[in-house]
Structure 1
Amino acid sequence: MRVTLPPELQETAMLRREMIETVLGRIWASPRINEDFAAICATGGRFSGTASEKAAVELLAKRLAEAAGTPVRREAIPYRGWTRHGAGVTDARGREHPAHALGRSPSTPEGGLEAPLLDLGRGTPEQIAEAGEKVRGAILLVRHEYMIGTGHVHRRKKYETARAAGAAGFLIACNEPGMLPVTGSAGDGEPGNIPCLGLSYETGAALAAQSGSRIRLHVAGEFEAREAENLFATIPGREPELVVLSAHIDGHDLACSAIDNATGLACVLAAMEAIRDLVPGLRRGVQAAMFNIEEWALLGSAAHLRNLPSGERDKLVLNVNLDSLAGAEGLTALTSGAPGVADFIAGALAPTGLSIGTYAPFMGNSDHANFIRHGIPAFRLCAGFDAPQSNMRFLLTPADTPEKVAPHQLKLAASVAALLVLAGCAAETLPPRFGAETVRRITGG
């Protein structure tokens, strides 16, 4: 499709030609993005509240200050932390199966939880509703899905539907063979939550053969009050408005969370380093935001935006959120159908000859969703949309490891992110903010 730039972007594009060449040259000529990616992965899975997550925060605080050339602000976020102490499943024949408690699962009573198993296949909300009273008091078995694609039903949606229908427990089996347990978070640690565990594809298949029989779950975990830290570095422009370039710090402890989201963090650092001396001459500034506790229902960005004084929040005019940016060829922007966002993206990239895909239906699967909920135009950049055979299929499994990411994928993602931020800082106009009615229409709630 041929893109016709609106007049204000035509002028901006002409002014940015030299900037574009400078930024792309810096990203592609430097080895630093690959070094940063390796260093972030080396801190481990960065599960919230662990030494790995704390080490990553310290590493990133130092590197972000260097990359942006400005001091880093740390924002403490209190939250209800959780430590995993073990989990397992005993089938109807007494055989023990390995399992991995989903984040913030309540513990089972001493001796475990015994109930009939109900296999609901994919386990969509419609399938759960159709099962009716069979769900009440049962342990539901559902399937994980390829996370970045059309029609994906999020694990949390399945869990919440099962809990509301009266299920006693929740099991989710990986959709990818290879003895790979799947992880993620579910619930919020409050009363009324039900024990929830992730299984491998093979364990799911073995248990499905016993649907209708009684099985036993064991989950042990401990809740406690904790604090996590968000990190911010701001480069002012000529006017007070800011474009926010964000990525999440935390991950999961089955592997080193390489794709999700060391890729996004490394790209934030590369983009900020490439544009830092250009932004002060542009209309708007840029704020790099590294949010924490994202894997637990986007807690870090939710608290940040909720606690900002309205005058400060009003300065935030666009969010470019980087989450799982490499591990497949091609990039897609999840725009949530926010007015003007898809046109902005196409117009911003047109002068370079680059283009990326866009997907309009709301996917509240990363920190951009909280900006949308505050009426701030936002989108998530990700790799591998509707590419279920790509390495993105290993998200939330022990196979989310560094070798799944090609260096050129990282550099292309950082280039696109930097160009979009640069366009946001330079453009005369941006996609408009929107009110509560549009927020409800976009999010469906």
Structure 2
Amino acid sequence: MSLEAFLGRLAADRLLAQDFAAICEAGGRLQGSDSAARGFAVLAGRMAAIGEVRDEPVPYAGWTCHEARVTDLASGRELACAPLLGAASTPREGLAVETLDLGRGAPEQVAAAEVGGRAVLARHEYPFAAWTVHRRAKLAAATAAGAAAFLIVQPEPGVGPVSGSSGRAGGEGIPALGISAEAGALLAEGRRLRITLLGEDHAATTPTLVLDLPGRGPDRVVLSAHLDGHPLGESAIDNGTGLAAALSLARAAAPFVEGCPRGLTLCIFGAEEWALAGSRAWLAALPAERRARMALNLNLDSIAGGPSLTALTSGFAALGPFLRGAAAKAGLPLRTHLPLMTNSDHANFAAHGIPAARLVAGFDAPDSALRFLLTAADTRAIVPVQELKAATIAAGALLWGALTAPAEALAALR
């Protein structure tokens, strides 16, 4: 099969839109919820139509929120909020605390402030840019400075609170919640609040769905996407787009991959939104020889919703030129970003020395629809199907290059 024929199969795949809709129908897919279980069932069924599917479950630090409230004490008004996944609990009666608005809330701003046991307010940032300071860096700085609580503020009005992970994983921490732009404007005045966050830490496991399609040799290209999301919205861009594209790519590749120099392994991870816990545990548990056969990881995460595609190439200097060359053979543009960004499952492959790239839309485009990630606005309504189709075809060009390149070309990526 030629590259043109492969991309033609992707262009003609009528199941792409159906898969995307079915994934979104499952809901936000918070790990451990019924919504996530429905999502995994959808993916398992779609993958079983392509080949034999294995579930290789792994542990992660589970957490269940029983109550989350932010109350303005002066007015008695309840403010919309979303607990950060895994965040530490308050006392059962809640925590009365004064707010301290630190604007952006970058670590150096937090370190220079007199935090003094107050609740630090920091602004959520567009997540896909070289200049971004991640929420967990701000939370860590607030914790180190002695904050009693942490509130991350969604900057855009009209979409409600922002969600996200605390990264605590059952360890020490402080109560942490996302709030809306409107709540942030109110609390910027230095208000007194009562924050109530009652969560329960517990051991948990997440499925890892694996579909392996052998090639001529023992090596594999690992195509990955994460299924879990957040209870706000449908987690459509993040990561219904990557899941639907991954299914389409596996369907298109299945008939010909046995003739390629290396095979294809499709991995669907859970607990990605929990500081990448699922893929980290899965990779760590593999025999070393199985990891050694992984020639490249192509991770699809939030691939539609923006004007262009960028491959985050995890510090592997030769990987960007390789992927740009693969895209160019299909007449497609591709941007690349070399420094490692630990914002999806590719980072765990890179940590094991496996050349790894995350394909993402909207990099350095803060006006794109990706600004709605982690909010109730992340629904299928903001994802044009033709944009998802185009991104899938672009991902197909990269996958074709990885499956068919000479062994020495992939060896040079390490």
Smaller-chain TM-score bracket = over 0.9
d(CA) in 2 for partners of 1:65 and 1:421?
21
- Give yes or no for contact 1:377–1:431 (8 Å, CA) kept in 2: no
How many pairs were matched up? 411
What do residues 40-73 of structure 1 show as CA deviations (whole Å, max 9, x unaligned)? 000111101001101111110110122xx32011
- Give yes or no for contact 1:286–1:421 (8 Å, CA) kept in 2: no
- Of 112, 116, 128, the residue aligned with 1:130 is 112
1:98 aligns with 2:80: yes
1:108 aligns with 2:86: no
- Give yes or no for contact 1:340–1:431 (8 Å, CA) kept in 2: no
Q: Which moved more, 1:139-148 or 1:348-357?
A: 348-357
Please state whether the residue corresponding to 1:80 is helix, strand or coil: strand
- How far residue 224 of structure 1 moved from its aligned partner, in angstroms, is 2.2
For 2:11, the aligned partner's letter is W
- How far residue 179 of structure 1 moved from its aligned partner, in angstroms, is 4.3
d(CA) in 2 for partners of 1:400 and 1:407?
15
Q: Which structure 2 residues correspond to residues 267-282 of structure 1 after superposition, within 5 A?
A: 267-282=245-260
d(CA) in 1 for partners of 2:312 and 2:70?
37
- How far residue 106 of structure 1 moved from its aligned partner, in angstroms, is 1.9
d(CA) in 1 for partners of 2:26 and 2:397?
29
Please state whether the residue corresponding to 1:81 is helix, strand or coil: strand
**Structure 2 partner of 1:386:** 364
- Give yes or no for contact 2:154–2:180 (8 Å, CA) kept in 1: yes
For 1:114, the aligned partner's letter is A
Query: When the two structures are superposed, what TM-score results if normalisation uses the length of structure 1?
Result: 0.90
- Give yes or no for contact 1:83–1:223 (8 Å, CA) kept in 2: yes
d(CA) in 1 for partners of 2:372 and 2:171?
32
**Structure 2 partner of 1:172:** 152
Structure-2 change in CA distance of 1:160 and 1:431 (3 Å): farther
**Structure 2 partner of 1:154:** 134
**Structure 1 partner of 2:44:** 61
Please state whether the residue corresponding to 1:313 is helix, strand or coil: helix
Structure-2 change in CA distance of 1:179 and 1:243 (3 Å): closer
What do residues 327-380 of structure 1 show as CA deviations (whole Å, max 9, x unaligned)? 122111111231200110111122211121111222110000001111111010
- Of 236, 244, 249, the residue aligned with 2:227 is 249
Q: Which moved more, 1:35-44 or 1:383-392?
A: 383-392
RMSD, matched Cα:
1.4
For 1:205, the aligned partner's letter is A
Please state whether the residue corresponding to 2:2 is helix, strand or coil: helix
What do residues 6-36 of structure 1 show as CA deviations (whole Å, max 9, x unaligned)? xxxxxxxxxxxx5212112111122210000
- Of 350, 374, 380, the residue aligned with 1:372 is 350
- Give yes or no for contact 1:344–1:431 (8 Å, CA) kept in 2: no
Structure-2 change in CA distance of 1:257 and 1:179 (3 Å): closer
- Of 382, 392, 397, the residue aligned with 1:404 is 382
- Of 19, 25, 33, the residue aligned with 1:50 is 33
- Give yes or no for contact 2:61–2:170 (8 Å, CA) kept in 1: no
Task: Give unmatched runs, 5+ long, in structure 1.
Answer: 1-17, 435-445
Please state whether the residue corresponding to 1:78 is helix, strand or coil: strand
d(CA) in 2 for partners of 1:26 and 1:232?
22
**Structure 2 partner of 1:319:** 297
- How far residue 92 of structure 1 moved from its aligned partner, in angstroms, is 4.7
Please state whether the residue corresponding to 1:430 is helix, strand or coil: helix
Task: Give unmatched runs, 5+ long, in structure 2.
Answer: none
What do residues 378-408 of structure 1 show as CA deviations (whole Å, max 9, x unaligned)? 0100111111111111100000000110111
Structure-2 change in CA distance of 1:282 and 1:191 (3 Å): closer
- Give yes or no for contact 1:339–1:431 (8 Å, CA) kept in 2: no
**Structure 1 partner of 2:197:** 219
d(CA) in 2 for partners of 1:430 and 1:129?
44
Q: Which moved more, 1:76-85 or 1:116-125?
A: 76-85
d(CA) in 2 for partners of 1:268 and 1:229?
17
Structure-2 change in CA distance of 1:315 and 1:199 (3 Å): same
- Give yes or no for contact 2:161–2:375 (8 Å, CA) kept in 1: yes
- Give yes or no for contact 2:56–2:207 (8 Å, CA) kept in 1: yes
Q: Which structure 2 residues correspond to residues 434-445 of structure 1 after superposition, within 5 A?
A: 434=414
Identical-residue share of aligned pairs (%):
48
d(CA) in 1 for partners of 2:158 and 2:318?
43
